[in-house]
A and B are shown apart, each in its own frame.
Chain A
Amino acid sequence: MTSAPAVDDIVKSEYEHGFTTEIDSDTLPPGLDEDVVRAISKRKGEPEFMTEWRLRAYRHWLTMREPEWAAVNYPKIDFQAISYFSAPKRPEDGPKSLDEVDPALLETYEKLGIPIEEQKALAGIAVDAVFDSVSVATTFRKSLAEAGVIFCSISEAVHEYPDLVKQYLGSVVPHTDNYYACLNAAVFSDGTFVYVPKGVRCPMELSTYFRINARNTGQFERTLIVAEAGSYVSYLEGCTAPQRDENQLHAAVVELIAMEDAEIKYSTVQNWYPGDAEGRGGIYNFVTKRGDCRGARSKISWTQVETGSAITWKYPSCLLRGDDSVGEFYSVAVTKGRQQADTGTKMIHIGKNTRSTIVSKGISAGQGEQTYRGLVRISQRAEGARNHTQCDSLLIGDRCTANTVPYIEVKHPSAKMEHEATTSKISDDQLFYCRSRGLTEEDAVSMIVNGFCKEVFNELPMEFAVEAQKLLSISLEGAVG
């Protein structure tokens, strides 16, 4: 790990990105070809191996077709109309003050209790570096360095730790995996790199919030987390506050690697802009997330709370290769308005006595459309593998839909599989009962929904769980009646 940068450096680097005048020329025109891929790599000052890596992906991407099997509808994306590299916006391009920001957005910030400075930052207003957060981040980096944990941007990692990047990048999600992952490999903007050495228990929850340079990672984010034997790390991604973003297509890739006896806990709260009442302008969230339990007794756990985006296409998965390894997936997904989500997980049991747990809670309101799509595969040598799947859907109102599409493939006779699924509606009786005790209809809905999601919230780190609950209540305001 590089030494912790001094406060000065951080402030200066913010300055650099925020106030230079050459930035306009730093944005590539829309379109994608080999030259664009090379240009991205060059702008980021990448070594030759990365440029080649990207080009290989790009060439393969040309041979692929956009997947159409997901139960979502959207107009065809014109990939030549997207600009694949844009430097951070200048502060004067964003709103000048909170007066210029959509009042609805501000109202949500207010309800979430977000401090005013942070509201500004989220809404895209230039703010001076808040000294507190800088010093927090610095302290934070220092104690990570002491533990030997590497936590930096993936661009930094390419320069500072090329061997680790070479060894692990694309080793869980190869560029050939799927259309969007392949595109990401060719053009990824930035992202996060975490490396936890052997036997180290990461001293704190890692969150991009503390990565000063995490802003503007853009639409093609790339995350790589490696946990060496016997180590532990918990990573938080996202933010409960709705984030403004100019880019409609988000195609991120997340790769997790857990060696022998290592454990990775990955928690996500996703609240990207879902579009207006008709679903216009919302984010398309086409993400590939996969964890590789490479070593024996390793464990990877995905917990997600998904309330945003117009379209979500996401299946955080676990490859259970090590014997006795464990995969978990806990998910709450909300679709309301015109949101569509096709989401679930894949648990691929390869090693002996591997275990997986899937708890999926889908909430559909308004005209939301939601599909749980999950695969549990027990391979030929996965003796003694076990899976428990629980898949519950809660409907609010009568114009939403919920589908469950479980795929189960078992190739070993000793496998134990359980699949439970329920679909329920918030009943008028329940609402009346709560209201007759003095609770408003909205409070009643949020209470019932939070009760429905409890098993998943229990898996989230404490302060995140509280925020997630609040977020859920706010997302479902006005969902009834």
Chain B
Amino acid sequence: MLSVKGLTANVGDKEILKGLDLEIAPGEVHAIMGPNGAGKSTLSHVLSGREGYEVTGGSATFEGRDLLELEPEERAQLGLFLAFQYPVELPGVNNTYFLKAALNSIRKARGEEELDAVSFLRLIKEKLKILHLDDSLLKRAVNAGFSGGEKKRNEIFQMALLEPKLAILDETDSGLDIDALRVVANGVNALRSPERSMIVVTHYQRLLDYIQPDYVHVLAKGRIIRSGGKELALELEEKGYGWIDAEGQAA
């Protein structure tokens, strides 16, 4: 589904990704862990098409398409979804309106019929339940005045609605207390399916107690320096990034 090969990317003059490889098959959940400054967010942003990053080499294909030459909205329409680490506020833009526009734009791109208001509302109510979200959220402006937990839940709620093929969760656990974390993780788990893959980017092992990954990768200094099963995350938790860092340098 996603195939990243030798990806290198700069921010300004600084090289952040230094030859990154990643293969993700349908239905797999991959966790990417790593210390601060390893390039985790850069990877999320480069894959989703954010401006400000210069890809200097390598490739990324998604469903057979060259991801890197697509606009962000085209990637979304293909089925890529990024749950933001810091969801952006859109004052005055009604949440329901925003979601309907987003969903219909994706459906349209896929050649599906746009949903009318009634079917959309039915769908949205159904999805709200997964995230234990209140109806009142629909009447508010997108993320405006939301608490940290609400913002993150809203991201997963959007994911539930847009039904992506590949979701990238960028530090979705940051800033969440344990209860909110559980709700968010349950939401994510409810969305796992044999057709849907996920990249869970996180700093801490904690999230992986709730969202069990098939693979764990350690990202450091712009490269994946170690990959393994979920036990790798536990090992990391125990020994810290320093351990793997030292090993990485020795290698």
Interface secondary structure of A, over-half rule: helix
Contact of B82 among A429, A436, A451 (CB under 8 A): A436
Residues on A with C-beta less than 8 A from B75 are: 436
Q: Is B219 an interface residue (CB 8 A)?
A: no
Q: Which of A216-224, A369-377, A439-447 contacts B (4 or more CB under 8 A)?
A: A439-447
Q: Answer yes or no: B69 CB below 8 A from chain A CBs.
A: no
Q: B104-123 CB contact bits vs A (8 Å, 1 = yes)?
A: 01100100000000000000
Interface check B92, CB cutoff 8 A: yes
B102 proximal to A (CB < 8 A): yes
- Residue numbers in B under 8 Å from A447 (CB-CB): 90, 93, 97-98, 101
Tell whether, in the assembled complex, residue A430 and residue B88 are in contact, meaning their CB atoms are under 8 Å apart.
Answer: yes
Chain A residues with CB under 8 A of B214: none
CA distance A304 to B71 in the complex (A): 36
A256 to chain B, nearest CB (A): 30
Q: Is the CB of A436 within 8 A of B51?
A: no
**Contact partners of A453 in chain B: CB under 8 A:** 92
Partner of A433, one of B90, B94, B105: B90
Please, how many angstroms separate the alpha-carbon atoms of A34 and B89 in the complex? 61
A435/B88 in contact, CB under 8 A: no
How far apart sit A449 and B82, CA to CA, in the bound complex (Å)? 24
Q: Is A428 an interface residue (CB 8 A)?
A: yes
**How does the 8 Å CB contact mask read for B57-101 relative to A, with 1 for contact and 0 for none?**
000000000000001110111000110100111111110011001
> B124 at the A/B interface (Cβ < 8 Å)?
no
Q: Given that A432-B50, A443-B101, A451-B90 are known contacts, is A437 also in contact with B141, CB under 8 Å in the complex?
A: no
Select B76's contact among A427, A430, A438, A450, beta carbons within 8 Å: A438
Q: Is A82 an interface residue (CB 8 A)?
A: no
Query: Which residue of the partner chain B has the closest CB to A426?
Result: B90
Contacts of A435 in B (CB 8 A): 49, 71-73, 76
Q: Which residues of B contact A451 (CB under 8 A)?
A: 90-94, 141
Asked whether A438 lies within 8 Å of B48 as measured between CB atoms, the reply is no
Number of A-B contacts (CB under 8 A): 76
| A454 at interface by CB-CB < 8 Å | yes
| Complex alpha-carbon distance, A447 and B141, angstroms | 11
Question: In the complex, A165 Cα to B176 Cα: how many Å?
Answer: 69
Q: How far is the CB of A32 from chain B (nearest CB, A)?
A: 47
- Which of these, A432, A436, A452, contacts B91 with CB under 8 Å? A452
Those of A419-478 within 8 Å (CB) of chain B: 427-430, 432-441, 443, 447-448, 450-454
Q: Given A437-B102, A438-B106, A439-B101, are A432 and B92 also a contact pair (CB < 8 Å)?
A: no
Whether B105 lies near A440 (C-beta < 8 A) is yes
Per the bound structure, the CA–CA distance linking A443 and B106 in Å amounts to 13
Q: Contacts A436-B49, A438-B106, A438-B109 hold; do A448 and B76 have CB atoms under 8 A apart?
A: no
Which partner residue on chain A sits nearest B108 by CB separation?
Answer: A438
Measured in the bound complex, the distance between the Cα atoms of B129 and A116 in whole Å is 47
Q: Which residues of A contact B48 (CB under 8 A)?
A: 436
Residue pairs across A and B with Cβ atoms less than 8 A apart, 12 shown, are: A428-B52, A430-B88, A433-B87, A435-B49, A437-B158, A438-B76, A438-B77, A438-B105, A438-B106, A450-B92, A450-B93, A452-B91
Residues of A within 8 A of B (CB): 427-430, 432-441, 443, 447-448, 450-454
Q: Which 6 A-B pairs have the closest CB atoms?
A: A451-B92, A451-B93, A438-B76, A433-B88, A437-B102, A435-B72
Since A428-B52, A435-B76 are in contact, a sample of 15 more A-B pairs with Cβ atoms closer than 8 Å, ordered by chain A residue number, is: A430-B88, A430-B89, A433-B87, A433-B90, A438-B73, A438-B76, A438-B77, A438-B109, A439-B105, A440-B73, A440-B105, A448-B90, A450-B92, A451-B91, A452-B92
